Amino acid sequence: MKLLFVADPLESFKPYKDSTFAMMREAQARGHEPWACTPAQLHWRRGGTVRAHAQRLALTGSIDHDWVTPLGAEDCGLPEFDAVLMRKDPPFDSEYFYATHLLGRAEADGARVFNSPRALRDHPEKLAILEFPEFIGPTLVTRSADDIRDFHAQYRDIILKPLDGMGGMGIFRVGPDGLNLGSITETLNRHGSTTIMVQQYLPQIAAGDKRVLVIDGEPVPYCLARIPQGSEIRGNLAAGGKGVAQPLSDRDREIAVHIGPLLAARGLLLVGLDVIGDCLTEINVTSPTCFQEIAQQTGFDVAAMFVDALERAIARS
């Protein structure tokens, strides 16, 4: 099969930990052809379908800077590929949004796109949890400083975060003393012009912010607990958290088994659920990661499970 990965530039990959690299490696090992382009290389002209200035790839087997050999570039129509995988990292900004519309146009012309462009737009990673209140902790979405003060007065220890952040960027904790609550609110909500999320602080973060991967509606049996280090409150690997793979808890599995099939039916082949303690905190759909950390620590081949699911999805379509 011919697979197109729409991703960040290849030179930005860190193959020793990159999940998209793990997908490419598994696909090539099965005899499939990996191709790549960036969202900037997608284009459309009247009378045709969406096309990409795409590069055919050969993975070398290395996990160093020489991990890939380009085999030549072509201008290809997206329906020519057996599957198109949208793996561009957040932020979900205007350009990402426009790319989903181009991918949606390609889908209408017969391309098979995973995750579904419409589903990517319909499930913003912070706000998607609002559909599942039975699994989340106390949460407020607002741009009102008064609402935030009232929420703090009720819960005393809170987390504030932007809706478009990634990797733990822009996350603040305000404790019972309320120190800097006003200043933090003004910074995040831009004096009332921007909506933010506020949640009760969950002390279980000390045991890790768990990434639970769900592939075609089925949970991977291990999660990666991203444990904050030192005085840091964020467990994100990008913020210095330590990743520890562990079996799913009963609660992790309960959440995944309930949510996974619903999201899979909407075209979300791969989802990353973030769970702290017993509470769902985010639903990641853009480019969920942690494949390699789980595989390295447990021996469970997440990339193989994913490519199995991708092959099934292509056969169904």
**Among residues of the chain, what percentage have pLDDT more than 70?**
99
pLDDT band at 240 (very low <50, low <70, confident <90, very high): confident
Residue among 14, 16, 20, 11 at smallest CA distance from 303:
20
Does residue 212 fall inside a structural domain?
yes
Domain match, 261 and 275 both: yes
Residue 132 covered by a domain = no
128, part of any domain: no
Q: Catalytic residue numbers?
A: 126, 161, 211, 226, 234, 274, 282, 284
Q: Are residues 69 and 18 in the same domain?
A: yes
Q: How many helices (H) and strands (E) does the chain have?
A: 8, 17
Domain count, the chain: 3
> Tens of pLDDT along 27-55?
999 999 999 999 999 999 999 999 999 99
CATH number for the domain spanning 245: value is 3.30.470.20
The domain of 195 spans: 138-201
Strands, E assignment, the chain: 2-6, 33-37, 42-43, 51-59, 68-77, 83-86, 113-114, 139-142, 158-162, 172-174, 196-200, 209-215, 218-219, 222-227, 242-247, 270-276, 279-284
Specify if 133 maps to a domain: no
pLDDT at 1: 96
- Same-domain check for residues 13 and 105: yes
Q: What is the mean pLDDT of the chain?
A: 95
Contacts with 146 (C-beta within 8 Å, 6 or more apart), sequence order: none
Q: Are residues 196 and 209 in the same domain?
A: no
CA distance 99 to 117: 8
